């Protein structure tokens, strides 16, 4: 009688343990479903980005709709255009240089067109660019370069040197002077560059100032136009993705590749907008991975518990015998 009672108690204990495991798995299932829903909800705000009217960008109306004095001001995007690198300029030290000197190193180049005596807009743009660059982990002169070119042929190398000192002081990172170049040049060379990238500006003889758009141009290591970013402030996320894409994946990490899979450069806005289908694919893959991991862990736990219960039952039977 004692042996039957012990065996019965053992079976009852096994059933109780199995029931406990079943009950414990119920909230775990809810956690997995909740995690999947959270993934979808987290992706939902991304869907709204890159849609609707532009925010922070500059839309250039058709030439026949522009106000007087601004007929030739704007950006005509020349994506994938080859920028002529045989154009000749002078750097901030007065040395003769060619655009080719800043390519061929495997680094993307940010091209900034403006003029050093600009009373407001150009300085605001440079400060905004510096602020975004300071957030990036990329190093100027190592991972990318910046070339600032004055489109005013009257400006001098002394003006370029003064502007560089101010901007590099604001940037504040050591050993970065060789990564940012401030150039001046002759009218024909300047015109050839601005025409190649679609940068249109107009001189106002009354104020002796230039009317121009605010934008930077992203160039690939083989001097092709990769993208345009508008305004005087630039999202660090957009700037980083733009550099990674322009570098042709020579810089950045796996996280940047995932973001570039989920985001796509939109020429209309000059920003990176979310690709809903790709985000849904990643969310679905993440959900499958979570569910697969949960099922695998639970299966291993059940096998381990069953093995332990069988060992305990065998031990009790041997002791009774």
Query: End-to-end alpha-carbon separation of the chain, Å?
Result: 12
In sequence order, which ranges of the chain are alpha helices (DSSP H)? 2-48, 121-135, 157-171, 187-197, 236-246, 254-262, 276-320
Give the closest residue to 279 by CA, choosing from 262, 294, 296.
262
Q: Which of 63-72, 161-170, 198-207 has the lowest mean pLDDT?
A: 63-72
Q: Which of 81-85, 217-221, 243-247, 276-280 has the lowest mean pLDDT?
A: 276-280
- Cα angle 50, 53, 57 (rounded to 5 degrees) comes to 80
- Cα angle 164, 165, 171 (rounded to 5 degrees) comes to 85
Q: What is the CATH number of domain 63-268?
A: 3.40.30.10
Query: What CA–CA distance (Å, rounded) separates 270 from 227?
Result: 7
Query: What CA–CA distance (Å, rounded) separates 130 from 37?
Result: 39
CB 125 within 8 A of CB 230: no
Residues in the chain: 321
Q: Which of 72-76, 145-149, 235-239 has the lowest mean pLDDT?
A: 72-76
* Cβ contacts of 181 within 8 Å, gap of 6 or more: 91, 92, 97, 102, 145, 146, 147, 148
Question: Each residue of 184-206: pLDDT tens digit?
Answer: 999 999 999 999 999 999 998 88
pLDDT of residue 39: 38
Question: Each residue of 33-48: pLDDT tens digit?
Answer: 333 333 333 333 333 3
Q: Look at 133 and 31; give whichever has higher pLDDT.
A: 133
Q: What residue segments make up the domains of the chain, in order of their start?
A: 2-44+280-320, 63-268
What is the value of pTM for the model shown? 0.68
pLDDT of residue 56: 36
Per-residue burial over 23-61, b = 16 or more CB atoms within 10 Å of its CB, e = otherwise: eeeeeeeeebeeebeebeeebeebeeebeeeeeebbebe
């Amino acid at each position: 009688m004692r042996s039957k009672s012990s065996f019965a108690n053992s079976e009852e204990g096994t059933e109780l343990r199995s029931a406990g495991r079943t009950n414990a798995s119920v909230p775990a299932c809810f956690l997995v479903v909740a995690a999947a829903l959270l993934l979808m909800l987290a992706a939902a705000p991304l869907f709204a980005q890159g849609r609707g009217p532009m925010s922070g960008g500059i839309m250039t109306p058709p030439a026949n709709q522009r106000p007087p004095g601004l007929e030739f001001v704007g950006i005509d995007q020349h994506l994938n255009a080859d920028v002529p690198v045989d154009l000749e300029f002078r750097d901030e030290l007065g040395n003769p240089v060619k655009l080719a000197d800043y390519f061929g190193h495997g680094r993307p180049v940010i091209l900034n067109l403006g003029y050093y005596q600009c009373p407001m807009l150009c300085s605001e743009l440079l400060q905004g660019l510096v602020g975004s660059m300071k957030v990036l982990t990329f190093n100027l002169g190592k991972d990318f370069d910046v070339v600032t070119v004055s489109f005013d042929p009257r400006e001098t190398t002394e003006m370029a040197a003064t502007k560089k000192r101010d901007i590099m002081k604001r940037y504040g990172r050591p050993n970065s002077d060789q990564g940012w170049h401030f150039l001046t040049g002759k009218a024909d060379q300047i015109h050839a560059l601005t025409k190649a990238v679609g940068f249109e500006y107009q001189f106002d003889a009354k104020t002796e100032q230039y009317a121009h758009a605010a934008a930077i141009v992203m160039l690939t290591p083989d001097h092709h136009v990769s993208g345009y970013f508008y305004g005087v402030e630039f999202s660090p996320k957009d700037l980083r993705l733009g550099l990674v894409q322009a570098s042709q994946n020579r810089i950045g990490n796996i996280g940047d590749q995932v973001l570039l899979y989920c985001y796509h450069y939109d020429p209309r806005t000059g920003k990176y907008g979310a690709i809903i289908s790709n985000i849904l694919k990643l969310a679905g893959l993440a959900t499958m991975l979570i569910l697969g991991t949960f099922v695998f862990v639970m299966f291993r736990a059940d096998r381990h518990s069953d093995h332990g219960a069988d060992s305990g039952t065998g031990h009790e039977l041997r002791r009774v015998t």
